[in-house]
A and B are shown apart, each in its own frame.
Chain A
Amino acid sequence: MPQNCIQVKDLTKTYSDLTAVNNISFEVRTGEILGILGPNGSGKTTTLKSILGLIEFDKGSIEVNGLSVKKNRNEILTNVGAILEGARNIYWHLTPMENLTYFAGIRGIPRKDIVDRAEYLLESLKLTDVANKEIRQFSAGMKQKCALACAFIHAPAILLLDEPTLGLDVEITRTIMDWLVDVVEKEGKTILITSHNMDFVESICKRILIIRKGEIISHETVKSLKEKFARKHFLIDLQNKPHEALVESVSSLGTTSTSGNSLKVELETLDHLLPLLTALDESGIKMLNFKSVENDLEDIFLEVIREKS
């Protein structure tokens, strides 16, 4: 298998007067989890669907395991699974086991060949107890776990996930996250994932791609992004809501935001720390807590987006 299992070159897709994806190029390395971040309408889903051949792109090329998506789509699909955003992906009137059998069947795999794998997937996703219950009764998280199992039933080497944790609670998100990491480590799978959940992406992806208005504006490892955008934020809890005069004076020192009785300040330079403390002292509002926090991926994402605007 080539080192880059997905190679996107100069991909462009236009819908009448809207350019959804504009000349983007990137690669996904075998055995990695690559995250794609971007605001709504930035072209993440179009990129993913172009790789799957669900959207016919206008220009550029996409190769999966060295095969062209335009010429060898069916061959590629034998080794790719996907969960698509905004869709159920599975049949709610069937049970998880029936869904697994059906999705294997429409890929030409006989039922007897998937029994062990289906049982393994159900067990690893903690679905064994409900394997023969109608999915309609399940919670959103369980439904998504079933969809994940179905996307994996044919043991694909590559998995494309579009917003797999959208609307899910923390516990289920954590289960899915652990499961994906496990699958990559144990089975050497490759995953391309889009998500709005920054913690999720930060936890499982080593590299991320930030897309805005159909263009890649950042393509680096999470580590290097964090180093590049390392900033000190100060989170100050006050006894009362910060008044206008305080906010105004602090704003001159750096980017400021308020939330209830808290004040979040990102200083332009650490030289401004003393004037900040002075302003707080002069405001007459009692300070309950003062702590410094590092930029998380969400802050970095917003900063990259702002910087490139």
Chain B
Amino acid sequence: MATGVKSRVKLPKTARAGEVITIKTLITHRMESGQRINDDGTAIPRSIIHRFTCDFEGAQVVDVTLHPGVATNPFFEFRARVPRAGVFNFTWYDEDGAVYTDSKMISVT
């Protein structure tokens, strides 16, 4: 299992109902591609996050499939519409079965 995985999500704390906000997400993960070779000639085992999703209380915003070509510490930026006050959920799925989650409250003014 990948160690030291820490997620960071940036979005406004408040918005108007229906407003479009920019969401930035980052998670610390080596995204080891499985292509790199050790000094002793053996391949470093592949270890990647293969899926990332963002939803607002069950309504999908984005669902991303990641391949080894996504750089270390996968970063995503996208835009979402805020229907009402609520919670944005962020989920990262590691190929080793681990699931990392984060969530952010947003209030409507």
Indicate whether A and B interact. Answer: no
B contact set with A: CB distance below 8 Å: none
